[in-house]
Amino acid sequence: MRTLAIRGIPLSKRTSEAWRSIGVTFTRTDRRNLNTFIQNWPEIINLGYRGERLDHPNLWNPAELVSILSSKIRTREILGELLPPQNNQTAHWIKGRGHSGKQAHYHPGPCTLACPPKDHDTQIHLEGPEYRILTVGTSIIQAHNKVWKNPINVQNTFPTYSWVGTKACPKGTIPLCKLAISILSNILHTDTFIIGWDIKMDKRNRPYIIEGNSCPGINNATAHRIRAALDTN
């Protein structure tokens, strides 16, 4: 199928090439009459664009979804207890708008009442392992262990991933992702989402969502799993 991707944020070379490996073509978000232009394509994938509402019968990742996931305050309002608790009196993270850890800052705590700043969220620091679980619609298509070289200094660094597989994920992680998708689909009246969920475990092995990413980094193998899932959803 001819697929057009609306690129709302910069992509790595590897991720761009992975999407192209399954026949995806990119367009700019500043194109005139974007909604008119996309009608010429049978399938649209929105990668991080949270601008004007996109009207298309076969759209993956509505702009409203991207807006929710890119705002940590909105994510907290909607997903609530699926996220780590808020507490600035212990070790915690301050999270602003954006992805890839660029707006995530570690605070050892305790902090003043002025923490977090306006439009930021707090999440207590969790000591357990982290996972990246990729979903297409309601399908779980892959899962990796995600390891940071320095887990309290993630700005401008990249994690390493090791394959886990969906069947070997820790107990509770897959149901957590499915519950989040259900909540979002009830609000947006669709489940046409492609999301990379970052899940972290606490000391009692309870999973929490620390972020949902509407433009996850991928490689060629992941791109082909996404294509297969798109064709069956």
Any bridge partners for residue 45, and if so which? 5, 60
Question: Read out DSSP for 177-224?
Answer: HHHHHHHHHHHHT----EEEEEEEE-TT--EEEEEEESS----HHHHH
C-alpha 86: how far from chain center? 20
Task: Write down the residue that tokens 């979002």 correspond to.
Answer: 184
Task: Indicate the angle between helix axes 72-79 and 173-188, nearest 10 degrees.
Answer: 100
Minimum mean pLDDT range among 22-31, 98-107, 164-173: 98-107
Q: Which of 146, 147, 154 is nearest to 94 (CA)?
A: 154
Minimum mean pLDDT range among 117-121, 133-137, 144-148: 117-121
199 class by beta-carbon count within 10 Å (0-12 exposed, 13-18 middle, 19+ buried):
buried
Q: Where are the alpha helices (DSSP H) in 102-195?
A: 173-188
**3-state percent breakdown (helix, strand, coil) of the chain, nearest 5:** 30, 25, 45
Minimum mean pLDDT range among 6-15, 47-56, 96-105: 96-105
- Separation between Cα atoms, residue 84 and residue 125, nearest integer Å: 8
pLDDT of residue 206: 97
Residue-wise pLDDT tens digits, 154-188: 766 778 889 998 888 999 999 999 999 999 999 99
- Separation between Cα atoms, residue 208 and residue 203, nearest integer Å: 11
Q: Which amino acid appears at position 82 of this protein? A: L
- Separation between Cα atoms, residue 183 and residue 230, nearest integer Å: 21
| Angle, CA of 203, 206 and 209, to the nearest 5° | 110
Residue-wise pLDDT tens digits, 31-72: 889 999 999 999 999 999 998 899 999 999 999 999 999 999
Any bridge partners for residue 24, and if so which? 3
- Separation between Cα atoms, residue 5 and residue 158, nearest integer Å: 24
Structure tokens at 40: 């010429």
| Other Cβ atoms within 10 Å of 70 Cβ, number | 23
| Other Cβ atoms within 10 Å of 105 Cβ, number | 17
Q: What domains sit in the chain, N to C, each tagged with a CATH number?
A: 62-82+126-232 (3.30.470.20)
